[in-house]
Structure 1
Amino acid sequence: MSLYSFGLEPLSCHAWNKDGTQIAVSPNNNVVIIYEKKGKEWNKIHELSEHSGRITGIDWAPESNRIVTCAADRNAYVWTLKDGTWKPTLVLVRINRAATCVKWSPLENKFALGSGARIISVCYFEKENDWWLSKHIKKAIRSTVLSLDWHPNNILLAAGSADLYCRVFSAYIKDIEAKPGPTAWGAKMPFGELLLEHKDCGGWVHSVSFSPSGDQLAWVAHNSSVTVADATNGKEATQLTTEYLPLVSVLYVSPTELVAAGHDCCPYRFTYKVPGALEFVKKLDIPKQTSKGSISAMQHFKNLDNKATEDARNEMTTLHQNSIIQLRVISGERDKVEKYSSVGLDGAMVLWEFKH
């Protein structure tokens, strides 16, 4: 694991290029900054500044090398690198509330965008008019869409929202792709078809993640729980409520292993090996034992401010000194992730290696 700081501003979202040599981050404002790794240093090489509102989502398509961004200004842009400069193309997302999250599909021929308008916009490129269009999934969603993830088949789309529900929809667009075959989630898949609707998630659903096979779906909610729904087990959901502060990001790193992180400033490892058996494995940020005296005075008072207590046991010994906002895969296949990253409210990024 290695720690790098991009300054004092919180990092609200980030994305990696294909080989993990460049990272796009937003320091909680309307700009995306792209850094490139040279040796041990990260050097700023581009700044994307078309948005007028705070950026809420970034995703970088590895094969086509396109970046999609969305923001509180209700807009989304697809960025293409031409002659050393990133050029934006406006997407017709047709929403009247802030965009909240965005995700490329596995084949990179479309992307999904969540928003406060209780809508998921599935966007695709129309060659005739040379622009990005969107189709809306509105059915059943009763509050802000907070998180999205694509099934490996490029058709199904999972969504977590602030109405305490987790859902799986079909995002099949017949104009651009072949008719999909049946999956464990269902066989009929017209656009917008609802294939899973799990209520009682226990809180806002902050993050969703399909397993490498697509047969399981994991999500984390604001009641500090991790849940896995298993399509091979009648879509039965297994919930594990942890003793930690709420988790806000979850990733599948192997067919049976999950990593989740959030307000405890530390990633945790979970396993789901047989239907109905979701277990906590371990904390992944093992701090070095430090005495109170070895922490700088500045850090000591910062910790007191964070925890509002003088109890020495509450000194922050984790690499992140504030909430982790997002986890991202850097390298490895979907079923065997080798490296992943975390960014947080402390302006820091940590690179983690996953030992299988």
Structure 2
Amino acid sequence: MVTCGADRNAYVWNQKDGIWKLTLVILRINDAATSVKWSPLQNKFAVGSGARLISVCYFESENDWWVSKYIKKPIHSTVLSLDWHPNNVLLAAGSCDFKCRVFSTYIKEVDEKPASTPWGSKMSFGQLMSAFGGSGTGGWVHGVSFSASRSLLAWVSHNSTVSVADASKSMQVSTLKTEFLPLLSVSFILENSVVAAGHDCCPTLLNDDDRGCLTFISKLDIPKQSIQHNMSAMEHFCNMDKRATTENRNTALGMLHQSSITQVSIHEVDKQDCRKFCITGIDGAMTIWDFKILEFSIQGLRIMGS
């Protein structure tokens, strides 16, 4: 397990005999670490930070610690999100400079020489493979996600847009401007389907068809109808005590999450055939969603490929 935080440190934790022991990570950054992600083979991990760089860390057995190499250019602001390509070399990063970028993290001592991909063939460490967005075309990039096919990349921005780039089609980008509050996290759950969530406190399903058209399918958490009733004397007193009001107002959202959702992650199987996904939020809640149950409970919902 790897953790990072505002103290500018990262730690790798190993469990032995029921006790968690930490291993030192030589991070050497001068601003908060904002995100961390293991590579698919778990032989390295990446740390985004407010220092306008990405630290790619790998284990050095001689000294029993994790050392890091830096990707600095052309990042101009805080790195908010990271996701690894299935080949264990390419890394997507979203940052506060309105950009979503794909870098090579090839380290000769750690990785086998990577094969050519639709994202490019030159993969020296730190090589910028692709960049999307920019000033005036979006907002802070809060979440990024590679597809299992290795050619699609999705990201969500602070201007409430969801975008998908297809490397196999000359980096064609499809963007959907949603009516929701800004989205904070996104994940492919099938080859052409993504789940995104954020400040609306509700996960949303979107599909990207073969023509490169991104469409909204459905919100996945349907608010429950609140039951109105007359207040008793005790309820009047409780409202006056808690909210300084005598009105019968229910402040609950009627959904499972009562605050912003910060992470969407695969819970069962993988991005190619997701059966369940996990949602976590600022309210401290963690919910597991089953697609078969969702299709049964939401009339007309059909998840592409399921």
- Structure 1 position 280, deviation (Å): 0.5
Cα deviations across residues 160-200 of structure 1 (Å, max 9, x unaligned)? 00000000000111111111110000011000000111123
> Of Structure 1 and Structure 2, which has the larger fraction of its residues in strand?
1
Greater relative CO, 1 or 2 (CA 8 Å, sep 6+): 1
In structure 1, how many angstroms separate the alpha carbons of the residues matched to 2:159 and 2:121? 33
Which residue matches 2:303? none
SS at 1:336's partner residue?
A: coil
- Structure 1 position 314, deviation (Å): 8.2
Structure 2, unpaired ranges of 5+? 293-305
Letter in 2 for 1:152: P
Residue of structure 2 aligned with 1:324, choices 256, 261, 269: 261
Cα deviations across residues 212-266 of structure 1 (Å, max 9, x unaligned)? 1120000000001100011011112111010010110101001111000000010
Contact map agreement 1:75 1:90 (CA 8 A) in 2: no
User: Normalization by structure 1: what TM-score?
Assistant: 0.75
Contact map agreement 2:200 2:260 (CA 8 A) in 1: yes
In structure 2, how many angstroms separate the alpha carbons of the residues matched to 1:352 and 1:294? 35
SS at 1:292's partner residue?
A: coil
Q: Count how many residue pairs are aligned between Structure 1 and Structure 2.
A: 283
Which residue matches 2:272? 335
Runs ≥4 residues deviating over 2 A: 287-298, 310-315
In structure 2, how many angstroms separate the alpha carbons of the residues matched to 1:234 and 1:292? 55
Residue of structure 2 aligned with 1:272, choices 196, 208, 228: 208
Which residue matches 2:128? 194
Letter in 2 for 1:159: A
Cα deviations across residues 110-166 of structure 1 (Å, max 9, x unaligned)? 000000000100000012222111000001000000000000000000000000000
RMSD over aligned CA atoms reads 2.4
Letter in 1 for 2:140: W
SS at 1:232's partner residue?
A: helix
Contact map agreement 1:292 1:312 (CA 8 A) in 2: no
Contact map agreement 1:161 1:206 (CA 8 A) in 2: yes
Q: How does 1:272-351 map to 2 (within 5 A)?
A: 272-293=208-229, 316-351=253-288
SS at 1:129's partner residue?
A: coil
Letter in 1 for 2:59: F
Structure 1, unpaired ranges of 5+? 1-66
Residue of structure 1 aligned with 2:153, choices 217, 239, 244: 217
In structure 1, how many angstroms separate the alpha carbons of the residues matched to 2:178 and 2:147? 21
- C-alpha spacing 1:203/1:295, structure 2 compared with 1 (3 Å): farther
Which residue matches 1:234? 170
In structure 1, how many angstroms separate the alpha carbons of the residues matched to 2:111 and 2:179? 44
In structure 2, how many angstroms separate the alpha carbons of the residues matched to 1:244 and 1:220? 12
In structure 2, how many angstroms separate the alpha carbons of the residues matched to 1:199 and 1:327? 22
Letter in 2 for 1:76: A
Q: How does 1:74-89 map to 2 (within 5 A)?
A: 74-89=8-23
Residue of structure 2 aligned with 1:105, choices 34, 39, 43: 39
Letter in 2 for 1:253: I
